[in-house]
Structure 1
Amino acid sequence: MLVVFIRRHRSMILASLFFFYLGCGITLSSLRMDCKDDGAKLNYQEENDYYGNVEYAVLILSSPNNEGKRDAIRATWAKFASNIFLDNGEKLYKWNHTWIGRTKQTQFIKFFYVIGTHGLSESKEHNLTMENARSKDLLLFSDFEDSYKNLASKMVTAMKWLNNTLKHLKYVIKCDDDSFVRVDLIVRDLEAYAPHMNGPEIDQYISYKEHLPVYRGLYWGYFDGHANVYTRGKWQESSWFLCDRYLPYALGGGYIVSKSIVDYIARNSDVLRLYMAEDVSMGVWTAALDGINRVHDVRFDTQWKSRGCLPHMLVRHKQTPKDMFDMYRTLVQSHGERLCKTDTILRKSYHYKWDVLPSLCCK
């Protein structure tokens, strides 16, 4: 009987099965789309929660092979961000770092290591992915190959990302992965004095381009205005035509730029000339900006060779991982009072003379 029934109504049964499976397929596709949309919303929410409170971005230019240097920073001076804490909505500084104390992550200060991944081998990309899985602080960009000639491109790409992602950004603290940075003291001074950078506690270290009642931004570091243009070697500027010397710029071992400068670079990235050195490029990009407080500070030890080690220094460039651990150990043992076991002056610093021609700025 069943066989006869199936033969007699075969067309109707096949049609019913077809529309049943079609309906199931449409339903499952809809569910997958809903899940994908929910996942996208979740990822966006997670990113917003992770970056939503960031006001200070520590931007560290690194390279694919420098995981050891990045780990040295993570284990030493990056921990000092916890010395800045909130009290009734106000950010204050207090040394509270110990050997055994667990470092509490500060939501308004975050660290970003910028690396170009274009052309990397599969194994190197895998290593970076694994590193980022544990550290969650790498900015991996496939737009460019990581090399000296692409440092300015790396900076522009990073500025665009920061501008688009960090909606409450105030300042970017830029440095290299061989810089030791007192990020806690820099944020302390920014909170207390920026953008005017005028106060009795810091006046002895600082010289200004000009005094204005209102500033539209801040460019703070150790400036040079009399550097000769490289005509050969890896820093050669074959298309430089602006002057017989570089325009005044803050040396790249460490400097600070305000959100207004980040926004300007991000919005005009397509028409900015990229020079070999990212710090020289920053000097050119900001040269025509009005109302920017350009502040030279002798506490930034960022020249091609270290000037020595003094307790008040905010940045020391050209430091090895061992140097970083030595300074970290000394700071912890002295409760933040001493940077090195022995104060040393290897070369003199200068206060930038903003009221003379750049060639006479830095004697």
Structure 2
Amino acid sequence: MFALLLRRYKGMILASILFFYLGCGITLSFIRIDCVSSLSTTNNRKSKDDFNTNLERVEYAVLIVSSPMNEAKRDCIRATWANFVHNIIIENGEHLYKWNHTWTENSVPQDFIKCFFVVGVQGLDSVKLKKIQSEHTRSNDLLILSDFEDSYKNLASKLIHSLEWMSKNLKQLKYIIKCDDDSFVRVDLIVRDLEAFAPEMNGPTISQYVTYKKTLPSYKGLYWGYFDGRARVFLNGKWQEKDWFLCDTYLPYALGGGYVISRSIVDYIAKNSEFLSQYNSEDVSMGVWTAALDGINRVHDTRFDTEWKSRGCDNNMLVRHKQTLSDMFQMYRTLVNSQGTKLCKTEAALRKYYQYNWNSLPSVCCK
């Protein structure tokens, strides 16, 4: 009997199923359109309001050097360590570190720390340019250099352009944390230590990690990272320096995977940019630009894993350079699951670190 009814009303049943799915599809399409429209409106408003108006409240800028086509790397950072800026909160007028991040809860918003992905867009075709503009609309964190062609040989110039912009537009700026888009940065812990110890950087809780030349009554600025003073000058290959003439080695510099400079250094470079020599490596250039500055506290810190190859993973590290997207997500998961106490799934020392000897000549600085 059932089979007879099924054959008799087969057409009606099929038509009903067709219209049911068609109706669902149309409904879901309108829902998706509404969501996209709402998100677009919100992002456009956010981009216009936050990026321009709230710049006046930025005290700590995270300057992330990125290539225009590295959207996947930027999204990875946005989804992982960039969220840790919310672990710095203000209580009774003081900036304090407090783990403030979970899988499910929204972080408390703040606007005194901001990440900027700097990209040059001169020479990009219309499709790539539109993609960059669309990314900025949704993310509100691109520092777009419209009159700058992005390339490796222009890295020093790119850094100068960025520092000029920040010197001009970030009125409350205290420090810049510079890093690459393949670095995992504990921005929260860096800001915590800056608030507690800068510019002297001589607190007992960090003394085992840092070395500096001498203690002064006061400092005019801070240059903080993992320094090298014995590096031989590259005469060929990717890092070739055709215009280098100063000496047989590079001047002492903090390795470019991640370092910190104070507002005083930012302003100095911005004001004197037209007189500064530029070399292929932006970190080498920074070492040269700051070499003649008096009263700058140059601080070597073993928690910066910023060499050409990672030294491994230690839970105390502030920066880990040369990390893949998978590496970043793994460290992020480990930190979230441990409430910020563990960076490494498994700690491992792949290469040795050194303490910088500021009282010796650079050629024997780093044993």
- TM-score, scaled to structure 2: 0.86
Structure 1 residue 52: deviation in Å?
1.2
Q: Mean alpha-carbon deviation: is it higher for 120-129 or for 104-113?
A: 104-113
1:270 maps to amino acid = E
Tell me which residue corresponds to 2:245.
241
**Preserved contact between residue 122 and residue 147 of structure 2 (Cα < 8 Å):** yes
Gaps of 5+ in 2: 1-46
Structure 1 residue 143: deviation in Å?
2.4
Q: Name which of 302, 317, 324 aligns with 2:321.
A: 317
Q: Name which of 113, 120, 125 aligns with 1:116.
A: 120
In the alignment, structure 1 residue 359 sits paired with structure 2 residue 345: no
Tell me which residue corresponds to 1:173.
177
State the aligned residue count.
321
Structure 1 residue 48: deviation in Å?
5.4
In the alignment, structure 1 residue 278 sits paired with structure 2 residue 275: no
Tell me which residue corresponds to 1:152.
156
- Cα deviation 1:293-343 (Å, max 9, x = unaligned): 000000000001100101100000000111100000000001111111111
Q: Distance in 2 between matches of 1:77 and 1:138?
A: 16
Q: Identity rate of aligned residues, in percent?
A: 66
Tell me which residue corresponds to 1:206.
210
Structure 1 residue 47: deviation in Å?
5.6
The secondary structure found in structure 1 opposite 2:190 is helix
Q: Distance in 1 between matches of 2:55 and 2:181?
A: 22
1:135 maps to amino acid = S
Tell me which residue corresponds to 2:192.
188
Matched ranges for 1:1-363 at <5 A: 49-363=53-367
Structure 1 residue 49: deviation in Å?
2.8
Q: Distance in 2 between matches of 1:65 and 1:103?
A: 29
The secondary structure found in structure 2 opposite 1:247 is coil
1:317 maps to amino acid = H
1:289 maps to amino acid = L
Q: Distance in 2 between matches of 1:176 and 1:258?
A: 18
2:257 maps to amino acid = G
- TM-score, scaled to structure 1: 0.87
Tell me which residue corresponds to 1:18.
none
Structure 1 residue 190: deviation in Å?
0.1
Gaps of 5+ in 1: 1-42
Q: Distance in 1 between matches of 2:303 and 2:50?
A: 38
The secondary structure found in structure 2 opposite 1:326 is helix
- Cα deviation 1:248-300 (Å, max 9, x = unaligned): 00000000000000000000011111100000000000000000000000000
**Preserved contact between residue 51 and residue 141 of structure 2 (Cα < 8 Å):** no
Q: Distance in 2 between matches of 1:320 and 1:47?
A: 28
Tell me which residue corresponds to 2:20.
none
Structure 1 residue 106: deviation in Å?
2.0
The secondary structure found in structure 2 opposite 1:52 is helix
- Cα deviation 1:78-130 (Å, max 9, x = unaligned): 00010000001100001121000112332100000011111111111000000
Q: Distance in 2 between matches of 1:238 and 1:125?
A: 32
The secondary structure found in structure 2 opposite 1:186 is helix
User: What RMSD in Å do the two structures reach over aligned CA positions?
Assistant: 1.2
Structure 1 residue 144: deviation in Å?
2.1
2:179 maps to amino acid = C
Tell me which residue corresponds to 2:29.
none
- Cα deviation 1:193-235 (Å, max 9, x = unaligned): 0000011100000000221010000000000000010100121
The 1:103/1:211 distance shift into structure 2, 3 A limit, reads same
**Preserved contact between residue 68 and residue 121 of structure 2 (Cα < 8 Å):** yes
